[in-house]
Chains A and B, each alone.
Chain A
């Protein structure tokens, strides 16, 4: 399916279709157009928190209370989550949805981002959390829509990684 929509418009569309109306985040430059779109749409309740695991807790509580949500963050933010994922989301079978804008690869200029990015997929694999790296706008709707349905049906977390191939990433500003 050819599409004229930008990646963030497709993402917002899938979230609406899936009734994911609570968006918690710690921001990132790459996520900015998505955050702007979400904040401008009254369908969504969106707010920033002080730390990513706080958002994971809010979203877990919201799920148990009957509301669907997603946590948006960057790679270094994901690295603060393993304890909460391993002691809350996974053992309690809570379908925490996560979206990570991928830093640390394909033109990274910050060595801290480069190192921490390498921990992300091994952590997800170790915790047996399904994750998909989104690289092409054409794939975003299918991958996200199907995976969100699966996460809720099987009560497991799911993580979407936004590759620089999709978003353009963050480039070296001299």
Chain B
């Protein structure tokens, strides 16, 4: 599989997409019980809204830890593909985790960043990505060579399909709009964990 021909070189060139829409497109491509770790905020809510797969984990705090949690699942289950779904504000808190993933060369991990340049859930205050920080460029500099912006929805689907098929680690940057999420994640941590562990086959 080849990379999509349409490759934006920077954040500015990527199309602004809709969070719920691309989350739905991503989940539709999951055919092998891939694990998905939803970070906090609207990224998490829209993952919930798309449908509660048993292989989805929903964080309810610990801002910035979706990538580490995804890495841990990937380390424990090297045959399963894992997607860590994170917002721009969240990944900015834990940029070191990108270097850790790169250093480990975690083959079965893909990171998807939903970047609207805002702390939307707290009132839309600007994050540093709207002031010039380019997460894909940062990821590449951390050693994640397979990092790219999704040019548009079809390029996003191509990149997700590629990341599910070929060895990672991958990082896919997505510019998204500021639409409200379609639902709110149920806040019941032990149940969320229990479902996830059963979904991964760890608990019977």
Interface set of A (CB-CB < 8 Å, partner B) = 22, 45, 47, 49-51, 53-67, 69, 83-84, 86-88, 91-94
Which of chain A's residues has its CB closest to B99's CB?
A50
**In angstroms, how far is the closest chain B Cβ from the Cβ of A107?**
31
User: Contacts of A22 on B, CB cut-off 8 Å?
Assistant: 75-76
Point out the residue from B61, B68, B200, B201 that lies within 8 Å of A58, measured CB to CB.
B68
Which of chain A's residues has its CB closest to B65's CB?
A57
User: Contacts of B190 on A, CB cut-off 8 Å?
Assistant: 91-93
Is the C-beta of B100 less than 8 angstroms from some C-beta in chain A? yes
B97/A50 in contact, CB under 8 A: yes
A87/B103 in contact, CB under 8 A: no
User: Contacts of B80 on A, CB cut-off 8 Å?
Assistant: 65
Question: Apart from A60-B68, A67-B75, A84-B65, what 7 extra A-B contacts exist at CB < 8 Å?
Answer: A22-B75, A45-B75, A54-B96, A57-B62, A57-B72, A60-B72, A61-B73
Is the C-beta of B50 less than 8 angstroms from some C-beta in chain A? no
Q: Complex Cα distance A69/B35, Å?
A: 20
Interface set of B (CB-CB < 8 Å, partner A) = 35, 37, 57, 59-77, 80, 94, 96-97, 99-100, 103-104, 189-190, 192-193, 196-197, 200-202
Known contacts being A91-B60, A93-B190, is A62 close to B73, with CB within 8 Å?
yes
B71/A58 in contact, CB under 8 A: yes
Q: Complex Cα distance A65/B202, Å?
A: 6
Known contacts being A65-B202, A67-B76, is A54 close to B100, with CB within 8 Å?
yes
A58/B189 in contact, CB under 8 A: no
User: Contacts of B77 on A, CB cut-off 8 Å?
Assistant: 65-66
User: Contacts of B97 on A, CB cut-off 8 Å?
Assistant: 49-50, 54, 57
A59/B72 in contact, CB under 8 A: yes
A87/B75 in contact, CB under 8 A: no
Instruction: Tell me which of A22, A59, A66, A69 has the highest count of chain B C-beta atoms within 10 A of its own C-beta.
Output: A66
**In angstroms, how far is the closest chain B Cβ from the Cβ of A61?**
2
Known contacts being A65-B202, A84-B65, is A93 close to B94, with CB within 8 Å?
no
User: Contacts of A50 on B, CB cut-off 8 Å?
Assistant: 96-97, 99-100
Known contacts being A54-B94, A64-B193, A65-B76, is A88 close to B99, with CB within 8 Å?
no
